[in-house]
C-alpha cells in the first residue's frame, strides 16, 4: 500500500469520527440524524467525484456552492448549536479548533 492511501484513509477516519461525535454531542432526533447524514454524504460525494471527475472551474464552484447551501439548510439546527459551542470556547481553543479544521481540509485537498 502506498503512503498516500494510508494517510487518506486516516484523514477520512478522523472526519468520520468528528462527524459522529458532532451527531452524538447534539442529541439528534431520528429525522435530524437523517438530515445530518444526508448532508455529510453530499459533501463526501462531492469530494469523491471531484477527485475522480475533472469539473471545469465554473461548474466546480457552482456545485460546491449548491452542496454547501443544501447541507447548511438540511442541518441548520446542528450548525447553530455548533456555532454557539464554538463561540463559547476560550480564545486559545477557538484558534486551535480553527487551525485543526483548516489543516485537515488542506490535507484532504492535497491527498485527494
How would residue 92 be classed by pLDDT, with cut points 50, 70 and 90?
Answer: very high
| Residue 82 pLDDT exceeds 80 | yes
Question: What are the domain boundaries of the chain?
Answer: 3-111
C-alpha cell at 8: 487518506
Average pLDDT over residues 52-61: 76
Average model confidence (pLDDT) for the chain?
Answer: 82
Give the residue from 43, 49, 48, 53 showing the smallest Cα distance to 74: 43
C-alpha cell at 54: 475533472
CA distance between the termini of the chain: 16
| Residue 54 pLDDT exceeds 80 | no
Whole-prediction pTM value? 0.68
Give φ, ψ of 27 to 5 degrees. Answer: 45, 60
Going by the DSSP 8-state scheme, the letter that residue 27 receives in this structure is T
Higher pLDDT, 53 or 35: 35
Residue 17 Rama label (left phi>0; alpha psi -120 to 50; beta) = alpha
Predicted confidence at residue 90, as pLDDT, reads: 92
Amino acid at each position: 500500500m502506498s503512503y498516500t492511501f494510508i494517510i487518506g484513509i486516516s484523514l477520512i477516519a478522523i472526519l468520520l469520527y468528528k462527524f459522529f461525535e458532532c451527531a452524538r454531542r447534539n442529541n439528534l432526533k431520528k429525522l435530524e440524524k437523517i438530515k445530518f447524514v444526508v448532508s455529510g454524504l453530499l459533501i463526501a460525494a462531492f469530494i469523491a467525484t471531484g477527485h475522480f471527475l475533472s469539473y471545469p472551474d465554473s461548474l466546480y464552484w457552482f456545485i460546491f456552492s449548491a452542496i454547501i447551501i443544501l447541507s447548511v439548510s438540511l442541518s441548520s439546527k446542528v450548525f447553530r448549536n455548533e456555532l454557539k459551542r464554538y463561540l463559547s470556547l476560550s480564545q486559545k481553543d477557538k484558534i486551535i479548533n480553527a487551525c485543526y479544521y483548516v489543516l485537515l481540509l488542506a490535507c484532504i485537498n492535497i491527498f485527494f
